[in-house]
Structure 1
């Protein structure tokens, strides 16, 4: 009987099959708040996971470089020492040479990072996809792989030549320079501006000759079987390799990105608090308006012998029903919008600013459940106040009110 009465209180006077306007406003307010919070969390989780995966697939898990960017002597056999130090965690270790150069044609020139790598480098990098030409980095061949964005800037195509100009090749003579023409054999795309706009790749032997590295390298890139305990692995390598080697993880290299994501997550409690505040006013005002609207019915129930606790239960059920419908609708709205974004890329982003070209959303069931439980618990608590007010109204007051 109590459930039936609570259900009747949800209905409009004019239309017994529809909700009252007060109930609809409260339901809509809760639904929008729940959907907004879930989508906000989904976006941040999506950014975190997507950028993490991109970085892991594009860059090495651990880098070993020289302090102050000084080259590392190959005779130190750093790669062999790494294999001895972490044999169970290591997938592969690759040496590379790298330096800032000027690349371009007669009309256009850009400052880029020239990186010399092994012939199989691109096969190991899942995130670097060749979209034109081939991943041809044969030994001692002046072949280049260029990012799509950079290729568009320089207006170069496959089999065309780019002039590479380098200054300060000799660490003892900063005015030494070199210039070389290299042929574009492939164009790659990663989706991250750091690579597509700022890197060109050539064979490591060609790069060493051009940059005058002799028996030196810029550093070593390490891929691990798992990123678990990566910090302890970095510390272990640093303690054993020591100066002049500097060991850093991928999270150190991209600390600014991950710090930015964590910074975006900090306002979530504030957002949740604002949503809670709106929900509190919605529920309390809705129940108070319904009490005024149904005051005659409350008087009749009290006259028929209904106890105060029964009136409280009726309005509590009413509040919980509004909250449950709002939470359910909010979840459907959040999941639906997230699905549309993931499949149709409705909202796009400038890749040069956000590192990715679309807004990624991760639909996490645990997030939906947590937000729903918190909202329903809040609705239950705030429904108590107007329910007690309704229960304490005396039949005599209702008659006078009427």
Structure 2
């Protein structure tokens, strides 16, 4: 044990006439501990939210999407899916037809993002079936109407439930100058309602079968276009809002184009290199996009929110270090005589500075350790018992998510110790500049 460390420990020990300094020391340690615990807990909370959001997005949508450069879609997509599945790291692929339309009911209507999928293949690229709120994820027809699946938010706005009829209106490939009589309306029976907890999906997504989506959005080859049937409702010559209902085609050809290929990877966190390999293989003819790039703005915002919130919480630790400054100043004033004696016995100013820096560092390290233990305890309690709950109708979770990361804990602890070290500089150097002769003269 060094001379400076031994003296610092002696100064930290309480004596009756120095009870006030002991109280200040306790308060400074408690302040650092509380600040570190709060930073730990808030940082773990942000980690939990980030993981939950990425898990929801990565599980609901495909990790990679391959688009065709032409508006006519991707033809011979079965062959393309074979090439995609041959890339290392890819676990599944499924075709999808994408489109925008108006969905309506007897109560209301709204814009919607339509996804035409095969219910048997969707599990290869998405876990949307695990988020069913009511009904099932299927498009089986009922009373001549094909099935559809809506997000819960969209179903709430349309005021529909399982078994109700909804319709899709699309002007894809049609001229607006032809009037409302040119709008083709396709009726569906609502078979299922899903809820992912993600606003963008629950409020604006609608799933239908691939054949119906190909028919609505005109992704049909010439050999199947003649299969479409129109049922006129009203007389367009005398009723300006008369429309045509489009009935399902009797069949469809398996080589009708699709809009894109959805791809699932083995490790969603390692999607970038897999995207690069896939792009090198087919990128000359197709556009390859992954889920991280598609949500880059969201992840960028979440990253900076975590950084700024952590910095704001570290201000609590910084404020707590002012207690260390005041405590050390009081110790310096109280120990002037002892400092003078040490200097008269040969202690140089550097040793005096080290003594008081050690006092501050010991307080800071003890506070950091206690804060880490308290922060870990709070995180463990939240993980085990879900003490802090969230309103499920507002958030996509019913409890506050927590994810502890060792790297974050180490960084926060190191920063806390550095802040306490900086707090010791002024009082320590002030002690080092004391003149022993003047102090002894007035004692």
TM-score range, shorter chain: 0.7 to 0.9
CA distance 1:351–1:297, shift in 2 (3 Å): farther
Query: 1:261 maps to what in 2?
Result: 302
Query: 1:114 maps to what in 2?
Result: 114
**Conservation of the 8 A alpha-carbon contact between 1:82 and 1:237:** no
Query: 2:150 maps to what in 1?
Result: 146
Q: 2:161 aligns with which of 157, 160, 170?
A: 157
Structure 2: which 5+ residue stretches go unaligned? Answer: 221-255
Q: 1:346 aligns with which of 380, 388, 398?
A: 388
Larger mean CA deviation between 208-217 and 16-25 belongs to 16-25
CA distance 1:273–1:107, shift in 2 (3 Å): closer
Query: 1:307 maps to what in 2?
Result: 347
Q: CA RMSD in A?
A: 3.7
Q: 1:193 aligns with which of 196, 199, 208?
A: 199
Task: Quote the Cα distance in structure 2 between the aligned partners of 1:47 and 1:37.
Answer: 15
Q: Map Cα deviations across residues 142-197 of structure 1 (whole Å, 9 max, x no partner).
A: 112222222222222222222x2322132678854221321122221111112111
Shift of 1:270: 5.5
Task: Quote the Cα distance in structure 2 between the aligned partners of 1:323 and 1:218.
Answer: 60
SS of residue matched to 1:200 = strand
Query: 1:169 maps to what in 2?
Result: 172
Larger mean CA deviation between 260-269 and 11-20 belongs to 11-20
CA distance 1:79–1:32, shift in 2 (3 Å): farther
**Conservation of the 8 A alpha-carbon contact between 1:137 and 1:202:** yes
Larger mean CA deviation between 108-117 and 38-47 belongs to 38-47
Query: 2:214 maps to what in 1?
Result: 208
Task: Quote the Cα distance in structure 1 between the aligned partners of 2:405 and 2:387.
Answer: 19
The structure number with the bigger radius of gyration is: 2
Q: TM-score, normalised by structure 2?
A: 0.75
Larger mean CA deviation between 114-123 and 291-300 belongs to 291-300
**Conservation of the 8 A alpha-carbon contact between 1:191 and 1:351:** no
Q: Map Cα deviations across residues 12-43 of structure 1 (whole Å, 9 max, x no partner).
A: 55588997232133223323443344344334
Q: Map Cα deviations across residues 296-333 of structure 1 (whole Å, 9 max, x no partner).
A: 45456667x47346655543332122112210232133
Task: Quote the Cα distance in structure 1 between the aligned partners of 2:160 and 2:211.
Answer: 24
Tell me the matched-pair count: 396
Task: Quote the Cα distance in structure 1 between the aligned partners of 2:426 and 2:91.
Answer: 62
Structure 1 residue 319 and structure 2 residue 360: aligned?
Answer: yes
Structure 1 residue 287 and structure 2 residue 328: aligned?
Answer: yes
